């Protein structure tokens, strides 16, 4: 549940920041309109949402049971967790792709790759070893 809250918060912050930038500059893809730190933070969020999307999409497609998914409901014995995981994973991938396109020229290539990979690895390790440790122990992953 905490991982879902973090991912949802990251997505909402990203959307609000880009709507504000669009109002200010007229385009979300304008080069050099964001500071170096803001660009690194946005690319970090892109990597983090990509990792979160990978976990949810893989568990949804493979049908690994009750992986904690946002918007999942159990109605009359039918579990919609798999569908919810696939949709949530695709939403995370789309946000990650949007960040990649929006900030690809705002940072030097090496800084872009470093920020993206650090965001991806950070969230992947948090999900695997901190936030979902009970889930993975119960399912022998």
**Confidence (pTM):** 0.70
pLDDT tens, residue by residue, 39-49: 888 889 889 88
SS3 16: helix
Residue 115 in contact with residue 40, Cβ under 8 Å?
Answer: yes
Which residue stretches of 1-141 are H helix? 2-25, 36-62, 81-103, 109-126, 133-138
pLDDT tens, residue by residue, 24-82: 766 655 455 567 888 888 889 889 889 888 888 888 888 766 666 666 555 555 556 77
pLDDT tens, residue by residue, 1-10: 555 566 667 6
Q: Is 50 exposed, middle or buried (0-12, 13-18, 19+ CB in 10 A)?
A: buried
116 confidence band (pLDDT: 50, 70, 90): very high
Among residues 94, 78, 77, 76, which one has the least CA distance to residue 86?
94
**pLDDT value for 117:** 94
Distance between CA atoms of residues 15 and 18, nearest Å: 5
String of DSSP letters for 55-86: HHHHHHHHT-S----TT--EETTEE-HHHHHH
Tokens found for residue 84: 């919810």
Average pLDDT, the chain: 75
């Amino acid at each position: 549940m905490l991982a879902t809250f973090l991912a949802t918060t990251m997505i909402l912050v990203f959307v609000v920041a880009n709507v504000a930038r669009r109002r200010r500059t007229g385009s979300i893809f304008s080069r050099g309109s964001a500071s170096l730190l803001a660009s690194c933070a946005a690319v970090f969020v892109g990597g983090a949402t990509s990792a979160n999307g990978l976990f949810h999409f893989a568990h949804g497609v493979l049908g690994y049971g009750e992986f904690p998914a946002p918007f999942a409901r159990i109605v009359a014995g039918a579990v919609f967790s798999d569908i919810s995981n696939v949709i949530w994973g695709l939403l995370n991938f789309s946000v990650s792709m949007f960040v990649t396109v929006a900030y690809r020229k705002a940072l030097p290539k090496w800084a872009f790759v470093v920020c993206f990979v650090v965001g991806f690895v950070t969230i992947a390790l948090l999900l695997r070893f901190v936030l979902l440790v009970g889930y993975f122990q119960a399912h022998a992953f």
